[in-house]
Amino acid sequence: MKPGIFLFSFLQALLLVFVISCSKSDSPPSPVTDIEGNTYKTVRIGEQTWMAENLKTTKLADGSAIPVVSDPSAWNELITPGLCWYNNQGDSIREIYGALYNFYAVASSKLCPEGWHVPSGDDWQKLRDFIGDTLVAGGALKEAGTLHWVLPNTGAVNSTGFTALPGGIRYFEGSFNSISYFTSFWSLTEYDSSKAWYLGLYYADAALTWSKISKKDGFSVRCLRD
């Protein structure tokens, strides 16, 4: 065998071993279970491991209950942890979209399972930097198709496996809006005493929105591994 051919064959074999070893080590991350026993799929995106489903626990990690608040006036008056189901629909919403939490639940630092946390603004920035262009980053996070999102669900390819669903929002005064059209995820980062930062995704474009809103609003939560 000529030296050049031998070297080429050796490099091919070496590459094959490398590919096999990588495939064995790149197994999907394990599911995570919250204090109530709800189990969530997880996904590795860059150097981060995220829940691939929205949080739906009604208890903090220390076992204390998070009030489920249906009354609009009571929701508006909350300055302590609270949650709700979109349109107060309970189990039918819970299993698909999870809960909508106010920021006071997020700020407790006990909302996520042990070893996980609500992402800070810097954590979300790291995810955005990994995906790239913020004009298309939303499409990389949104669930593809129109099973849950309204047409046209622009740019949705879910290339990250994050599988963001349009769980809608609850406004501070207690009304609900935008299920199937919009989703927003809390960050742990405050803007001031009454507002905090969130990440938003919309059915009609592929962009990723970063903005601030009242801490009394109800948004979805995705936990990030410590």
Cα(148)–Cα(146) distance, rounded to whole angstroms?
Answer: 5
Prior bond of 31 cis (ω within 30°): no
Fill in the amino acid letter for 200: G
Question: What pLDDT digit, counting tens, does each position of 77-133 carry?
Answer: 999 999 999 999 988 899 999 999 999 999 999 999 999 999 999 999 999 999 998
How big is the CA angle at 218 (ends 50 and 106), to the nearest 5 degrees? 50
For 66, half-sphere exposure in the C-beta direction (CA atoms, 13 angstrom radius) is 31
The residue ranges of every structural domain in the chain are 32-225
* pLDDT confidence band for 135 (50 / 70 / 90): confident
pTM comes to 0.87
**203 within 8 A of 166, measured Cβ to Cβ:** yes
Residues 170-188: pLDDT tens digits? 999 999 999 999 999 999 9
Burial class from Cβ neighbours inside 10 Å (0-12, 13-18, 19+) for residue 131 reads: buried
pLDDT the model gives residue 23: 32
Over residues 160-178, the mean pLDDT reads: 98
CB 95 within 8 A of CB 39: no
Q: What is the average pLDDT value for the chain, to the nearest integer?
A: 90
pLDDT digits (tens, 9 = 90+) for 48-70: 999 999 999 999 999 999 999 99
180: Cα separation from own chain's centroid: 16
Amino acid 3: pLDDT: 43
Work out the end-to-end distance of the chain between its first and last CA atoms, rounded to an integer number of angstroms: 53
Please enumerate in sequence order all residues whose Cβ is within 8 A of that of 62, keeping only pairs 6 or more positions apart, or say none.
Answer: 110
